[in-house]
């Protein structure tokens, strides 16, 4: 074996060894604290709707009033595998929320808020949130913690995509769900490799 071939072999062996050492094991306390931090913010909104900040603007939007009336707990929770059912109960434009209900917290936590023109199709394909959910679920499992994930659809939203996205952004600003790209830096996601 030539010197350069041996160098390549050593390099690839080290990469393999390093990739095995990247496996992240988090303690139950670390994960519970992460959930509690999100819960502390969101519970203020769940328990006191008047805490939702009122946006002041020269051109007030009707979407702000819509967001102020939003009640996530009034929406029916569905399994994340709802899209595999023979027929979907949700069709057309919607705002959707992915939530978890940790055992020791009084309210669920909203992990992700998204919008879609076709509620019956959005969750079928590739989705960044699915990767976060997989890492989150694996971390909880490794720590011996239970999860109770669900997805909820809010269909009383504007049909116009621009308006619906405005509603989505307002909701993200209020609730600060950790899996949305706008808020990932705030909460950090300790169960994914990219935050280290």
| pLDDT tens per residue, range 144-160 | 999 999 999 999 899 99
Supply φ then ψ for residue 112, to 5 degrees: -155, 140
Which pTM value belongs to this model?
Answer: 0.78
92 Ramachandran zone, left/alpha/beta (phi>0; psi -120 to 50): left
Count of residues making up the chain: 196
Number of compact structural domains in the chain: 1
Within a domain: 173: yes
CB atoms within 10 A of CB 53: 11
Q: Which domain holds residue 66?
A: 25-195
Rounded to the nearest angstrom, the gap between the alpha carbon of residue 94 and the centroid of all alpha carbons in its chain is: 16
Within a domain: 69: yes
**Distance between CA 98 and CA 171 in Å, rounded?**
13
| pLDDT tens per residue, range 106-134 | 999 999 999 988 876 666 667 778 888 88
Within a domain: 1: no
């Amino acid at each position: 074996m030539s010197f350069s071939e041996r160098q390549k072999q050593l390099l690839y062996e080290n990469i393999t060894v390093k990739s095995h050492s990247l496996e992240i094991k988090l303690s139950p306390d670390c994960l519970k604290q992460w959930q509690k931090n999100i819960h502390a913010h969101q519970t203020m909104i769940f328990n006191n709707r008047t805490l939702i900040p009122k946006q002041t603007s020269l051109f007030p939007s009707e979407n702000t009033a819509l967001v102020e009336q939003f009640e996530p707990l009034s929406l029916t929770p569905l399994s994340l595998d709802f899209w595999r059912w023979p027929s979907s109960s949700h069709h057309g434009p919607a705002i959707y929320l992915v939530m978890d209900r940790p055992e020791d917290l009084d309210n669920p936590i909203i992990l992700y808020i998204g919008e879609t023109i076709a509620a019956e199709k959005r969750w079928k394909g590739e989705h960044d949130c699915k990767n976060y959910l997989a890492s989150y679920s694996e971390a909880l499992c490794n720590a011996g913690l239970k999860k109770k994930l669900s997805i909820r659809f809010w269909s009383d939203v504007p049909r116009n995509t621009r308006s619906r996205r405005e509603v989505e952004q307002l909701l993200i600003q209020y609730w600060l769900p950790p899996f949305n790209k706008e808020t990932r830096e705030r909460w950090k996601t300790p169960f994914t490799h990219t935050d280290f």
